[in-house]
Amino acid sequence: MKNLPMAYMMMAAGYGEDEIRKAEKMMETVSADNKFELQEVNIGTFKFETMDSRDIRNITLGDCNRSCMRIGECAESCIADAIGNPESALVAISTEGKVCGHSWVRTGRSGRIYMDNIETCKEYEKSEELAEAVIDWSMMIGKRHGTDVVIGAAHFLPMTDRANQFMSQDDYMDEFEGDTYSDLSKEAVLIIRKAKT
């Protein structure tokens, strides 16, 4: 194994040798030039951290809630995309020093920013406070990049009157190339317009 710190971290999380080798291959594709500024933003009691693509925590971020965004699971492609694509990143959401959720963000073909595969720990699944913080964070990112932000209709996000447009799953998936996983069902997704500048 080439990356011992990552291997130890993954072994502690219960990953086997095959998953560790797969993660090492992913880390070989790292893109150091990330479009999304690497920063921490506090919104209410939540901290949103845009992960550096070189950070080995990208590999195990989904372990906080045993989500599908883990090596060997169906949303593994989102991790690979966040590590190797400068137009993509993973976002860790934490409160009181503990990761309580995460998401994958990416620029689509239209230039819009997409926030998908929003996963939370069980105690935050129906949290309106977290849902509002996700929307506030999305609006900040949209304003910073001068574009709309589309939020995949995550199972935990209560529908809100802050939505002003909906989009079909087909239109949503047309924004991405390749084999990309989305949590989006046949339902529409929520579009949050950029904040007024």
pLDDT tens per residue across span 91-139? 999 999 999 989 889 888 888 888 888 888 888 887 888 888 988 898 8
Cα(177)–Cα(115) distance, integer angstroms: 16
User: Per-residue confidence at 45, pLDDT binned at 50, 70, 90?
Assistant: very high
pLDDT at 197: 45
Whether the Cβ atoms of residue 20 and residue 27 lie closer than 8 Å to each other: no
The confidence band for 70, taking pLDDT boundaries of 50, 70 and 90, is confident
Which residue would you say has higher pLDDT here, 190 or 130? 130
pLDDT tens-digit series, residues 138-173: 888 888 888 888 887 655 555 555 666 667 777 777
pLDDT at residue 65 above 60? yes
What's the pLDDT at 42? 95
What separation in angstroms does the CA of 165 have from each of 11, 48, 141, 149?
44, 25, 18, 11
Give the C-alpha separation, 167 to 188, whole Å. Answer: 5
Confidence at residue 138, expressed as pLDDT on a 0 to 100 scale: 87
Predicted confidence at residue 44, as pLDDT, reads 93
CATH no. for 4-192: 3.40.630.30
What pLDDT was estimated at residue 95? 94
Task: Determine how many CB atoms are found less than 10 A away from the CB of residue 158.
Answer: 10
- pLDDT-derived band of residue 90, with 50, 70 and 90 as boundaries? very high
pLDDT beyond 70 at 62: yes
Alpha-carbon Rg for the chain, nearest whole angstrom, is 16
Q: What is the largest CA-CA distance in the chain?
A: 50
Residues β-bridged to residue 167 = 189
pLDDT at 195 over 80: no
Between residues 163 and 39, which one has the greater pLDDT?
39
pTM value is: 0.82
Residue ranges of the domains in the chain? 4-192
Q: What is the mean pLDDT of the chain?
A: 80
Q: How many CB atoms lie within 10 A of CB 58?
A: 26
Q: At CA 32, angle to CA 191 and CA 16, rounded to 5?
A: 85
Q: What are the residues whose beta carbons fall under 8 Å from the beta carbon of 93, sequence distance 6 or more?
A: 46, 47, 48, 49, 99, 100, 101, 102, 103, 120, 130, 133, 134
Residue type, 92: A
> What pLDDT sits at residue 72?
82
One-letter identity of residue 130: L
